[in-house]
Amino acid sequence: MPELPEVEVTRLSFAHQIKGAQIQSAHLGKPLRWPLGCSTSDLQGLTVKRVNRRGKYLLIEMDPSLLILHLGMSGSLRFESLNESRLNTKLHDHFVLKTNRGILTLNDPRRFGAVVFAPEFNAPIVSKLLGKLGVEPLGEDFTPLQLYKALRQRRVNIKQALLGGQIVVGVGNIYASESLFMARIRPTRSSSKITKSQCSLLHRAIRETLTRAIEVGGSTLQNFSNAMGESGYFQLESFVYARQGQPCKLCQTPIKQIVQGQRSTFFCPVCQK
């Protein structure tokens, strides 16, 4: 599943190109996770003001209306010129937004992704999808103290607390494993037992890990690419993720793999206490 860095990399790859574009038409293929919430003809004539992100959701804002996009498990966006798009129609293209500056297409083989229309930011659907999300990990509201107070209220392991999304959004499976390694915290440790000093280390590790992932284009483990078709390279720098059995880059102890909440977790049994 694309995580926050991949979604942010995708946003950055096309946001400047579609800004100010007028929507000429929209097309829906096979049904996605949720209904669009309007007729495709209702989008015609609207102007894209900007593209923002909240957690793993992309927000194509038309003021006051917006489209909320989620890439699901296997979705990806591509943005092409009008001429390029005529030549590049692909299987599993399930939402196509044609503008006078190019065509934005959601390709999603498993169809767990979504495109949802909201008439305004105060619409119930916006609150339903975004209202319970935690703070942005790269924003000012994410602080060591905020993280400490929130973790103290949880009675689950620290890895699951990070993945939940209610404390901080977008720290998915890859980046939770990497951040916990950088903070020297074992993923099985109870979140309620994390100390203030550990929270400071974890806060810094999350920020540095996500920032670096965005800088190198995210992680391409299977088929992720940004809207320009470019792959990411963070997986080449990972300390623990998907390195089970390989030596720790710091102490040479073999990296271990366990399963937590049906997700694989990777850690060093010596470096992480």
Task: Give per-residue pLDDT as tens, 127-161.
Answer: 999 999 999 999 999 999 999 999 999 989 999 99
Question: Among 39, 137, 22, 30, which residue's Cα sits nearest to residue 75?
Answer: 30
Catalytic annotation on 136?
A: no
Give the architecture (CATH level 2) of 144-267: Orthogonal Bundle (1.10)
Q: Which one of the listed residues 11, 53, 56, 243 is annotated catalytic?
A: 56
Catalytic annotation on 186?
A: no
Reading the chain (273 residues) residue by residue, the pLDDT tens digits are 688 999 999 999 999 999 999 999 999 999 999 999 999 999 999 999 999 999 999 999 999 999 999 999 889 999 998 877 555 677 899 999 999 999 999 999 999 999 999 999 999 999 999 999 999 999 999 999 999 999 999 989 999 999 999 999 999 999 999 999 999 999 999 999 999 999 999 999 999 999 999 988 887 665 666 667 777 768 888 999 999 999 999 999 999 999 998 999 999 999 998
Q: Are 6 and 218 in contact (CB under 8 A)?
A: yes
E strands, the chain, are 23-28, 50-54, 57-61, 66-70, 76-80, 93-99, 102-107, 114-118, 256-260, 263-267
Catalytic annotation on 247?
A: no
**What residue segments make up the domains of the chain, in order of their start?**
4-130, 144-267
> What 8-state DSSP symbol labels residue 143?
-
Catalytic annotation on 2?
A: yes
Q: Are 201 and 228 in contact (CB under 8 A)?
A: no
Pick the CATH number of 4-130 from 3.40.50.720, 3.40.220.10, 1.20.1050.90, 3.20.190.10: 3.20.190.10
- Residues with Cβ within 8 Å of residue 84, at least 6 apart in sequence: none
**pLDDT tens readout for residues 100-110:** 999 999 999 99
Q: Which one of the listed residues 50, 207, 212, 263 is annotated catalytic?
A: 263
